[in-house]
Structure 1
Amino acid sequence: MIDWTQVLDPRGTAGRVPALLDQVERVGGAEAWDGLWDELCLDGETVVPASFAALPRLVALGRTSPQALSLAGSIMRGALQDHGADDLLLKCTDAAARLRKLLDQRLESRPAGYLHAFRDLLAADGQYHWSAVLGDFTDDFYHLRCPHCDVEVTVAIGDYGRYSAIRDWHAGDTERRDLRPAPPEDLVGTGRWMYDTAVRDGQDRLATGLTYLFGRAECPRCASTFVIAAEYTAANLPSPGE
């Protein structure tokens, strides 16, 4: 049993949270949901210990409530913040697994705001770095270092082009090299899962963009090639609580 008066929220304790959860479970209501967002995911992004204390109940509500599913997903996207609740987060393993299933089912219905739900699913699966940065591939940039010569490379995937380049803040992206998309049949692991989900749900732009993200880039400086997603992951995948 959780002693909610001992769980921190943006105002110091989370004494209001159980009553708000009871209210949305019984009758719903925009005011109660707004109150929960303020307590558990302030400004849609800041989480606190109470967020993870409430997560199992939100996931249970998420079977019938899109609002609960959205709030639970947003909480998971904040798992890498300095929230001081690593112990509570570790207790959410089962809730995160149930959340993954619910979010995957929701994506199959192709909801409005598909990308947001897709990023929630990534967070529930522990793919926090992709959850934080994945875009819709209309205007996406990834900045990483060449693993061979250590020069900073800008990778662009969007309507303006799909290339690697050296970014000059005066001249723009220079020395461009076309990216080499991965054949879908060659994708494995996280990349294959993300691609297959996008294809299943008819998200053609997202699926195509993922083949470039998990494809290869050429370094404009030393002409070596590398897998974009692998280098980005190596540089940006911390553990929860770091």
Structure 2
Amino acid sequence: MLLVSILIDETMTNWSKLQHAYGSAVDLPAFLGALSPNAEDPVWDELWGRVCHQGTVYSASAPVLPYLLSAAREWPPVARVTPLSLAGAIVISPNVSGNHDLQPHRSTIEGLHRLATETTASIGLSSTDFIYLLQAVLALEGDLLWGQHLHRLASGEFEGKCTSCGIELLVGVGRYGSFVASEDWVNNRTVARRPLHPREVKDLDETARRLHTYAFAASQEEVAQWVPYVFGVGTCPACRKYFEVAEAIAAVD
């Protein structure tokens, strides 16, 4: 198994003074020294659970970023998705426990963003990996909406809220179709689903155009087809008023 070749200099980061989800961060050097390009390696669950536990970050979280960048630089595109996704989650997290200072790591974050953007041009990623990569790009830019929620495109469902009547919505975009429902449509196939209408590509906003362009360039045809629906319009099943899909998703936060 290929392990990331990082020399951990404990004189640069005093891990004993930092905290993660389970307490002292003195155990992080061992995990960082064992980072693997295999996304299924248990080291990733161990690391993620410590530095971004259920979306919360800690004083030991930001110091992990240089290690993630070093790993991602060494590995092929398909293996970069996990470290870049974790980096994005650390950068964009609004849930902070203790001192979480990103400022000393700005150059590292810029490097992570450049690498993530470059990796979007890679051919052969699964659609799921590609979506998580797109989310990492936006997270590393500080996009609080799509940097946290774009991954839902991989599962095919976003949570939403009607911007007129406030009813909770389930917005399907992806492999199961493009529609909106107000009840669980997975376990109850009789639930009414109203179709979504995609935005014309020429009318997409800057973020949506970039996502569409990245997908098209990487031959991610499905993702390219889905993006206009995420930024399209729908009709609320309850009040029958039109809503912007992106605004309905944003209204949940």
The answer to whether the superposition gives a TM-score over 0.5 is: yes
Counterpart of 1:239 in structure 2 is none
| Distance in 2 (alpha carbons) for counterparts of 1:55 and 1:81 | 17
Deviation string 1:156-206 (CA, Å, 9 cap, x unpaired) is 2234432223326767422x3321100111111221221111111111111
State whether structure 2 residue 178 is matched by structure 1 residue 162.
yes
The 3 A distance-change label for structure 1 pair 39 and 4 is farther
The 3 A distance-change label for structure 1 pair 70 and 166 is closer
Query: What runs of 5+ residues in structure 2 fail to find an aligned partner?
Result: 1-11
Is residue 9–residue 40 contact of structure 1 (8 Å, CA) maintained in 2? Answer: no
Counterpart of 1:217 in structure 2 is 234
Question: Which aligned pairs between 1:122-201 and structure 2 lie closer than 5 A?
Answer: 122-135=138-151, 140-167=156-183, 172-174=190-192, 176-201=193-218
Shift of 1:16: 4.3
**Is the partner of 1:91 in helix, strand or coil?**
helix
**Is the partner of 1:88 in helix, strand or coil?**
coil
Q: Percent identity?
A: 26
Of residues 67, 71, 75, the one that matches 2:83 is 71
The 3 A distance-change label for structure 1 pair 168 and 95 is closer
| Distance in 2 (alpha carbons) for counterparts of 1:157 and 1:230 | 15
| Distance in 2 (alpha carbons) for counterparts of 1:29 and 1:56 | 15
Is residue 52–residue 85 contact of structure 1 (8 Å, CA) maintained in 2? Answer: no
| Distance in 1 (alpha carbons) for counterparts of 2:80 and 2:166 | 44
Counterpart of 2:47 in structure 1 is 40
| Distance in 1 (alpha carbons) for counterparts of 2:75 and 2:135 | 18
State whether structure 2 residue 68 is matched by structure 1 residue 58.
yes
The 3 A distance-change label for structure 1 pair 35 and 152 is closer
Residues matched between the structures, number: 230
Counterpart of 1:108 in structure 2 is 121
Is residue 163–residue 251 contact of structure 2 (8 Å, CA) maintained in 1? Answer: no
TM-score of the aligned structures, taking structure 1 as reference length: 0.76
Query: What runs of 5+ residues in structure 1 fail to find an aligned partner?
Result: 237-242
Using the TM superposition, name which of 186-195 and 137-146 deviates more.
Answer: 137-146
Using the TM superposition, name which of 193-202 and 63-72 deviates more.
Answer: 63-72
The 3 A distance-change label for structure 1 pair 158 and 36 is closer
Shift of 1:45: 5.4
State whether structure 2 residue 112 is matched by structure 1 residue 96.
no
Counterpart of 1:5 in structure 2 is 16
| Distance in 2 (alpha carbons) for counterparts of 1:213 and 1:140 | 11
The 3 A distance-change label for structure 1 pair 12 and 183 is same
**Is the partner of 2:228 in helix, strand or coil?**
helix
